Amino acid sequence: MAKKTIRDIQVKGKKVLVRVDFNVPLKNGEISDENRIVQALPTIEYILTQGGKAIVFSHLGRVKDESDKASNSLAVVAKRLSELLNKEVTFVPETRGKVLEDAINKLKDGEILMFENTRFEDLNGKKESKNDPELGKYWASLGDVFVNDAFGTAHRDAASNVGIAANIKDTVAGFLLEKEINFIGGTLENPERPFVAILGGAKVSDKIEVIKNLLKVADKVLIGGGMAYTFFKAQGYEIGNSLLEADKVDLAKELLELANGKIVLGEDVITAKAFDPESEKNVRNVTGIPADEMGMDIGPRTIALFESFIATAKTVVWNGPLGVFEFPRFAEGTRSIAQAITEIKDQATTIIGGGDSAAAVIQFGLADGFTHISTGGGASLEYLEGKLLPGIECVDNK
């Protein structure tokens, strides 16, 4: 169902509430990856150039007690947003109250304000995360219209998305949320074929429903990363000290049977005797992993096999790295597959489903070679599972 976007409403002269996902990683008080901020810029810039008064807010990190406040303040994000927009961003270190209300009322057309971490409200009984009705109503009262552009929290039923939407006349999608709906949702509904899905990461349990859903729509599902070893075990192979979810072996057998040949696991792996960046690497057949070694990456024959499916694909969706890409010695599989996907950009729609795989391609300098890199981790997974996401469902239909 088509959702209303920011293009469908008038924002000039209006107080525009903008829920963004600025839950960025911080190291020593500095932003280490600003991709989520950059991805939200088109929506914010549109509101400002159209003469709207932008009131921007987000959560950041985990806030369990008062001591977490200092390290999870959005002040550093507001400063970086100001630099990226080349425009002053008024930061209000409050989540409610007269100081915030007065600052909003002082905004002129084309000006922007950001208020403090919405998760600070969770210190008073999980009011944000549990969608407290009073809080959603209060935040809605601060604006005239609501733009949800936070795909990263779209799988959450929170006061800052669903709660506001229930208490305001107009709720629309920002440009980033619109992209996520069109690329991930649209691809699953009507993919151009061949459609190749690539799944990695550590655990089968994280991807069970994703695998089941993709088996309905994809032509091939290529599986690597730590989760592959549970499938190898299900095939009767010894996997040494490789990552294993012993309680999911029977499920892996069921998925292989259900797949009817759609699941591709590869032929060889890179192993090491220790989970260490300097550990010596070995190439092993999947049928012959020594008892004292563990899988760390997909092997060269598996890379070539995966590349052969990618080369002819018209749609590729990838979620999860294929090896321990954080260690350069064991990054070749993930890097090679990322490179192979960039080489078909002109002929295919290529989507990365957020999380570690997105971090990997950004680390490799290959981000520009993809059609779309999702800003959602858990949200991307649940969307790929075919679930309805509260943060999307609450947006007005066209």
Q: Residues 296-322: pLDDT tens digits?
A: 999 999 999 999 999 999 999 999 999
3-state secondary structure of 178: helix
Q: Measured between alpha carbons, how far is 224 from 200 in angstroms, rounded to an integer?
A: 5
**Confidence at residue 171, expressed as pLDDT on a 0 to 100 scale:** 98
**Confidence at residue 354, expressed as pLDDT on a 0 to 100 scale:** 67
Catalytic residue (choose from 80, 203, 253, 273):
203
Catalytic residue (choose from 14, 36, 207, 233):
36
Active site residue 203: yes
Closest CA to 229 of 240, 213, 214: 240
CATH number belonging to domain 6-175: 3.40.50.1260
Closest CA to 122 of 75, 56, 65: 65
Closest CA to 161 of 41, 18, 43: 18
**Is the peptide bond preceding residue 93 cis, with omega within 30 degrees of 0?**
no
Q: Are 149 and 394 in contact (CB under 8 A)?
A: no
Given the structure tokens 């069921």, which residue do they identify? 254
Q: Are 176 and 151 in contact (CB under 8 A)?
A: yes
Q: For the chain, give every domain's residue range.
A: 6-175, 185-384
Active site residue 320: no
Is 185-384 in the same CATH topology as 6-175?
yes
| CB neighbour burial string for 351-375, b if at least 16 within 10 angstroms, e if fewer | bbbbbbbbbbbebbebbebbbbbbb
Catalytic residue (choose from 136, 355, 377, 391):
355
Active site residue 386: no
Q: Measured between alpha carbons, how far is 20 from 41 in angstroms, rounded to an integer?
A: 10
**Confidence at residue 297, expressed as pLDDT on a 0 to 100 scale:** 98
Query: Where does the chain have alpha helices with state H?
Result: 35-49, 75-85, 98-106, 133-141, 164-165, 175-180, 186-189, 208-217, 228-234, 249-259, 300-311, 332-342, 355-363, 378-384, 390-393
Q: Are 336 and 307 in contact (CB under 8 A)?
A: yes
The whole-angstrom distance between residue 109's C-alpha and the CA centroid of its chain comes to 32
Give every residue of the chain whose pLDDT is below 50, as ranges. none
> DSSP assignment, residue 3?
B
3-state secondary structure of 50: coil
Q: Measured between alpha carbons, how far is 299 from 9 in angstroms, rounded to an integer?
A: 52
CATH number belonging to domain 185-384: 3.40.50.1260
Active site residue 136: no
Catalytic residue (choose from 87, 378, 386, 387):
378
Q: Are 180 and 358 in contact (CB under 8 A)?
A: no
